[in-house]
Amino acid sequence: MDSQTVSRHAAEPDAPTAGTLKPNALGVLGILFFVLSAQAPLTGIAGAAPIAVALGNGPGVPAAYLVAGLVILLFSVGFVAMGRHVVDAGAFYTYIGKGLGRTTGTGSAGLALFAYCTIQAAMYGLYGAIVSGLVASHTGLDLPWWVWTLATMAVVQALGAAGVEMGAKVLAVFVLAEFSILSVFALVTLFKGGGPEGLGLADSFSPSAALDGAPGVAVMFAVASMFGFEATAIYGEEAREPRKTVPRATYLAVAVVTGFFALVSWMLISSYGASNATAAAGKALEGGDGAGFVFAPIAADFGGWVGDVLPVLLATSLFAGILTFHNSANRYLFSLGRDRLLPLRLCRLNRRHAPWTAGCVQTVLAVLLVVPFALAGKDPVLTLFSWFSGVAVLAMMLLYLLTSVSVVVFFRRARLDTRLWNTLIAPALGALGIAGAIWLILANFTTLIGGERTTALWLTLSVPVVAALGLIAARVRGRTLAAADG
């Protein structure tokens, strides 16, 4: 067996053909912006860092980001090795299917869709609450959060239909804005020697600091902040020279995200002083404004105008993530339709060669996930955002684990790549690290979702239920297709 027989979409035609996404549309930077948008950097820092500092290992949180980055990097080695031989918009489910069998792969597609749709719905909840507050404070127009959420769904649908290049351009603006202000703050703090207690290198990165308090909680939130980097493979069909572009984009994304979160969190802690950071984060959370832990030192350095700009950037950060997950989910639906695992109508493309029908279905799914919370009058941040983000992270970690195992099995069977580090050692170590992350998530799931134990139990059970339903559906669909072809 050679790589040509394994790659289902290896060709890179100059013009798109029926049933294929637009080739040569994205370079390394274009894919990188999609990945960084999925990370929602400002959301990750403002949302996760205060909780990780207050409830985790305090000033040792930056070390937790490095540990999470190392685990993801190990996973990426096998992920990239597989991507050189399998180029498909289905990414995870295709990879898992190649190693663990078509039924397991197809079943995992349901889990992937569940993860992408729930994280997008979670972002819609926080986004709606933030935009509603911003509009009310600046214009006096006080509308419910779900009005802005539904309106944004229409905008996201339109941008998704406009093509992947348009989406990349929009995301580039938003990502650069939030990255710039956080990076400038971190670099200014670094070059001026840190805060009242100096840089505090040992306070944040020494083994004793990393293991202080509850390091598992910090690592859990750090891993959750890495969510979305796998989008590099999803856009493989639309990349220029995917066998070069996707690996470069993957490694660059992991390096940039890990370095960014570690540096910014370190400088945040330094700005308060390592001995004061934990108490400051706890006070911000108790006051119901965790983001204030992040915004306050930035405003102290750059002036009060930052207090007005950062909430806007937080909204655009969420919008960028929402658009990215819309594109990821509709490409999964497109790929499933092309493989005849879902109705072929999902393969319908518009004039810009974007997955039109799949995009519409994804938007409908978003509406179905969000509207019940609006009708029930639930708080969009405490329920929709908190619950669904926790579920999505758990589902995605399970996909990472299955993919790592699949990489090992695939290369032991196919022998397309004989490099032991790339196809056995790194994926196996990555699988162990991801299994540890899953254990940490399960052990601290109530903290992750900010809810009660009963709610946490039901949400946790939803992941294996979705996985089981996916497997059942895959078996039924496989028999149906076999009967039709026979």
Per-residue pLDDT tens digits for 178-205: 888 899 999 999 999 888 999 989 999 9
pLDDT bucket at 24, cuts 50 / 70 / 90: low
CA distance 276 to 284: 12
**pLDDT computed for residue 359 by the predictor:** 86
Of 98-107, 151-160, 270-279, 435-444, the range with the lowest mean pLDDT is 98-107
- Return d(Cα 116, Cα 146) in angstroms, integer: 20
Measured CA angle at 414 (ends 409, 416), to 5 deg: 115
Cα–Cα distance for residue pair 33/47, rounded to 1 Å? 21
Cβ 66 vs Cβ 262: under 8 Å: yes
Residue type, position 474, single letter: A
Tens of pLDDT along 124-172?
998 999 899 899 988 888 899 999 999 999 999 988 777 655 555 666 7
Tell me the whole-structure pTM to 2 decimals.
0.83
The whole-number pLDDT of residue 336 equals 80
Q: How far apart are CA 211 and CA 207, in angstroms?
A: 6
pLDDT tens digits, one per residue of 229-280? 666 666 666 666 667 777 777 888 888 889 999 999 999 999 999 999 999 9
